[in-house]
Amino acid sequence: MQHFFTLQTTSGNARAGIIRTPHGPILTPVFMPVGTIGSVKAMSPHELEEGNAQIILGNTYHLYLRPGHELIREAGGLHRFISWQHPMLTDSGGFQVMSLAALRRITKEGVRFQSHIDGSYHLFTPESVIGIQEALGADIIMSFDECPPYPATREYVEKSLRLTLKWAARGKEAFRNQERQALFGIVQGGVYEDLREHSARKLMEMDFDGYSIGGLAVGESKPDMLRITAFMHDILPMDKPRYLMGVGTPADLLRNIANGVDMFDCVMPTRNARKGSIFTRYGKMIIKAARYKQDFKSIDPLCNCYTCRHFSRAYIRHLITMNEILGMRLTTIHSLYFYQELMQMARQAILENRYQQFMDEMLPLVDSMVE
Amino acid sequence: MQHFFTLQTTSGNARAGIIRTPHGPILTPVFMPVGTIGSVKAMSPHELEEGNAQIILGNTYHLYLRPGHELIREAGGLHRFISWQHPMLTDSGGFQVMSLAALRRITKEGVRFQSHIDGSYHLFTPESVIGIQEALGADIIMSFDECPPYPATREYVEKSLRLTLKWAARGKEAFRNQERQALFGIVQGGVYEDLREHSARKLMEMDFDGYSIGGLAVGESKPDMLRITAFMHDILPMDKPRYLMGVGTPADLLRNIANGVDMFDCVMPTRNARKGSIFTRYGKMIIKAARYKQDFKSIDPLCNCYTCRHFSRAYIRHLITMNEILGMRLTTIHSLYFYQELMQMARQAILENRYQQFMDEMLPLVDSMVE
């Protein structure tokens, strides 16, 4: 896609940029809420807009199985089907095939697997995954990858990587929709720097619109994750966006922005929120805790989200304790709002070339528990 | 409460009126969405407003048990606790004690019962139930009643009724908050007209702000229900609102409006919606049905609710099938919107003195299944 990404400025290795899509621009660094099967859980599109989400993610594996990409094509694409007018990204399905599907058999052709829902047999190939994502019609799509589990031997990762590189080439070859979609290659290679470098250089030869860092946040240590993203920064091109898949906590985001990552997605803010674990600028808040029972302040008295403007900790605690849907909605609204605000603050700090200082101030806060 | 109710006009026995409360007026006939434990399930206060809800209901029994009326008093009352600025009504707890609580023992003093949650012992008396409802602070509250199950012998109902009348007198005596709350007496008497008449006349002597018709919608036939409400119309005073508790389907509402009922509440539109059974002006729609799989029309193409303005049957079917919270939200929004619209149309028809004709036109529609 032409003029897809502009790097505006850097602060250390942290980057502020603009991604341009047919559904509007995205200011980076950006966090993408996850709309697994066509809905960011508990949220309406309207609430996502109010919460300043710029782009949301859909999962190719899930949407392929239900309701099916052909149905979504018939609906006019995923944007129309779910009534979301802003940018979207779909993943490759590689991670879900690894983590969810049963009896997966990897061949040169692709992956044959059984659905985690009904055990039916399916085949994902690099070409079919591009085809599915063209039907879904997201603005940013991923080439198919084999995502090694963690831990995996160097031999496994190396072999897997060779396959993923061949699949990337085949996917790129099959990709026809350059006018409307940007295609990212996924860097694999586990925690092995030489394999990561090989993966990145081969993908860069194929010239993708952006580069995803896959195969992290699968169980490795945080230092390993940060070591790899720092290493990737020196190799990946400056003029293409970098997307760290499936990451993470507020602290993970801040630290990986410092390593030059532009894009993130994670179910953590939404999934944790539904269980009453809420992210705030003062740390994590476990709203079911007894000390919030008679606490009539909002989650964050300085926050401007719908939840904090209208509802008390005591009420939200009551709702979450009672398993009321509204409770899950209100905690999700706040956590997503906070994630977006954190990204906006990070971007501002980069634009003002004070990212390191910003991060040093924020980390002790977001890494703690609310008193 | 002074100037609480004004009967504006009648059409046959159907009535259009205005109820005035400290939180604003209510145009009748009115349907009240049920916010059992402090939230109309799946809805935010903002969505209820957008859906034209004038007044919502809270359940005394549930709120007393969790989070407790003292907590809500401390929060500044139920309105503030749940962030609802418009009128509210709380029920007496009598129905829930009958239908939910374990091991209830009825004495002259009141009802001793075990919580359906943790088996703890509690005592509801006419005085304590008024006290709880004063703490909750709803605009309209109910005197404590013994709600006989159905079927019940005439002897049981007669004995129960005598108790309920004594409790009504004691509740009225204990009630102090006349400036801010309206107190309704609950007419009991099962399906026995003479007992209903006795109940109503005794309550009318006590001069309540309004009269609830309790003990219906508990299992009796629809003709029995309608026979009783028609009978009540001839006895209850014209200048006080009548509230038929726990009713019902759109057809039930239309038929009972014709019998002079002003107020309704029911969990049916919200509970059914969460399971994918949706009320529309063309009848009931079971959204999981296979024929909606590729149906990209909205639930009701003429409806102006948030759901119908943005989402297709196919998408909602997908969400409900996948048990996604957004699916339950969207169906609830539509069903509540339709209920409010039906009440607005009924009121307009009464004001224009064509209620019978309106009902005759609507009944075959709302009583059917969507094709």
B24-28/B14-21 β-pairing: antiparallel
Query: CA-based angle A245:A248:A252, to the nearest 5?
Result: 110
**DSSP three-state, residue A106:** strand
Identify which of B76, B322, B326 has the shortest CB distance to residue A44: B326
A146 Cβ contact list (under 8 Å, min separation 6): A94, A98, A106, A111, A160, A163, A164, A167, A188
Q: Between chains, do B67 and A318 touch, taking CB under 8 Å as contact?
A: yes
- A91 noted as active-site residue: yes
**DSSP three-state, residue B82:** helix
Record the tokens describing residue B365, joined without a space: 């529609």
Whether A72 and A135 have beta carbons less than 8 Å apart is answered as: yes
Task: For residues B352 and A358, give the distance between their C-alpha atoms in angstroms, rounded to a whole number.
Answer: 66
Record the tokens describing residue A36, joined without a space: 């697994």
Q: Is the dihedral of CA A323, A325, A327, A328 positive or negative?
A: positive
B111-114/B121-124 β-pairing: antiparallel
Supply the pLDDT for residue B225. 98
What is the rounded average pLDDT of the residues A126-131? 98
B69 Cβ contact list (under 8 Å, min separation 6): B63, B131, B132, B135, B136
**ipTM summary value:** 0.97
Up-side HSE of residue B55: CA atoms within 13 Å toward CB? Answer: 31
Residue at token pair 């699968």: A218
Q: Is the pLDDT of residue A88 over 80?
A: yes
Give the number of A-B residue pairs with CB atoms closer than 8 Å.
100
Annotated catalytic residue, options A139, A252, A262, A265: A265
Supply the pLDDT for residue A208. 98
Q: Between chains, do B312 and A43 touch, taking CB under 8 Å as contact?
A: no
Supply the pLDDT for residue A1. 81
User: Which residues 297-336 of A have a C-beta within 8 angstroms of B?
Assistant: 306, 310-312, 314-315, 318-319, 321-322, 324-330
**pLDDT, tens digit only, all 371 positions of chain B:** 889 999 999 999 999 999 999 999 999 999 999 999 999 999 999 999 999 999 999 999 999 999 999 999 999 999 999 999 999 999 999 999 988 888 889 998 999 999 999 999 999 999 999 999 999 999 999 999 999 989 999 999 999 999 999 999 999 999 999 999 999 999 999 999 999 999 999 999 999 999 999 999 999 999 999 999 999 999 999 999 999 999 999 999 999 999 999 999 999 999 999 999 999 999 999 999 999 999 999 999 999 999 999 999 999 999 999 999 999 999 999 999 999 999 999 999 999 999 999 999 999 999 999 97
Q: Is the pLDDT of residue A138 over 90?
A: yes
Phi then psi for residue A248, to 5 deg, are: 175, -145
Record the tokens describing residue A3, joined without a space: 């003029």
Task: For residues A223 and B287, give the distance between their C-alpha atoms in angstroms, rounded to a whole number.
Answer: 49
What is the rounded average pLDDT of the residues A236-247? 98
Residue range A174-214, pLDDT digits in tens: 999 999 999 999 999 999 999 999 999 999 999 999 999 99
| Chain B residues touching residue A67 (CB < 8 angstroms) | 293, 314, 318
Q: Between chains, do B326 and A46 touch, taking CB under 8 Å as contact?
A: no
B188 Cβ contact list (under 8 Å, min separation 6): B145, B146, B147, B148, B157, B160, B161, B164, B195, B196, B199, B214, B215
Supply the pLDDT for residue A271. 98
Task: For residues A236 and A202, give the distance between their C-alpha atoms in angstroms, rounded to a whole number.
Answer: 11
- B300 noted as active-site residue: no
| Chain A residues touching residue B37 (CB < 8 angstroms) | 318, 322, 324
Supply the pLDDT for residue A327. 98
| Chain B residues touching residue A318 (CB < 8 angstroms) | 37-38, 66-67
Indicate the helix (H) or strand (E) that contains A310. helix A306-310
Q: Between chains, do A318 and B75 touch, taking CB under 8 Å as contact?
A: no
Record the tokens describing residue A217, joined without a space: 């946040």
Annotated catalytic residue, options B139, B252, B265, B300: B265
Task: For residues B239 and B247, give the distance between their C-alpha atoms in angstroms, rounded to a whole number.
Answer: 22
Supply the pLDDT for residue B102. 82
Record the tokens describing residue A92, joined without a space: 């490759």
Predicted TM-score of the model (pTM)? 0.98
Q: Is the dihedral of CA A294, A297, A299, A305 positive or negative?
A: positive
Task: For residues B152 and A329, give the distance between their C-alpha atoms in angstroms, rounded to a whole number.
Answer: 43
Interface membership of B116 toward A (CB under 8 Å): no
For residue A222, which amino acid is it? Answer: K
B313 Cβ contact list (under 8 Å, min separation 6): B285, B287, B292, B295, B296, B297, B298, B299
Q: Between chains, do A293 and B71 touch, taking CB under 8 Å as contact?
A: yes
Interface membership of A74 toward B (CB under 8 Å): yes
Task: For residues B220 and A184, give the distance between their C-alpha atoms in angstroms, rounded to a whole number.
Answer: 64
